[in-house]
Amino acid sequence: MKTKIINFANKFTKFADLWSPKIIAQMNDYHFKLAKIKGEFIWHSHEDTDEVFIVINGSLTIHLREGEVILKEGEMYVVPMGVEHKPSAEQECQIMLIEPAGTINTGEAGGDMTAEYEVWI
């Protein structure tokens, strides 16, 4: 049989660019995406969806207007719909994002860091 086992570590070997989420799976109309991040992203929000962050490897800081959240490997956080956030990571960090298909990484903010949102690996 053709299996579709998704191994996160293996998928992370397939790309190197930062802040550019790659789709690894679809569940109904949601996408599971992996991203490598380092440095600071931009402040943005998603007006029509919550967004899940799971740290696979490393440490991720999610800056919020009310403070910041620091996530390590094996931890997740749900950024609620409409809440402004700015991810950052001092060292390269590997994360999984879960959100509706078509969600733009920069949300309502746009700008230079906007990535293609339909790249499967």
Distance separating alpha carbons of residues 95 and 51, to the nearest angstrom = 12
Q: Which is nearer to its own copies, 16 or 27 (CB)?
A: 27
User: How far, in Å, are 30, 117, 118 from residue 102 at the CA level?
Assistant: 9, 6, 7
Q: Which is nearer to its own copies, 9 or 112 (CB)?
A: 9
Report in angstroms how near the CB of residue 49 gets to its own copies at its nearest.
6
Report in angstroms how near the CB of residue 45 gets to its own copies at its nearest.
15
Q: Which two tokens stand for residue 27?
A: 């569940």
Given the structure tokens 């390590």, which residue do they identify?
72
Report in angstroms how near the CB of residue 72 gets to its own copies at its nearest.
8
DSSP H or E run through 63: strand 59-64
Binding site for its own copies (CB under 8 A): 1, 3-9, 24-28, 30, 32, 49-52, 56, 64, 66-67, 69-71, 74-78, 81, 98-100
Q: Which is nearer to its own copies, 37 or 71 (CB)?
A: 71
Nearest to 85 by CA among 56, 47, 28: 47
Report in angstroms how near the CB of residue 12 gets to its own copies at its nearest.
10
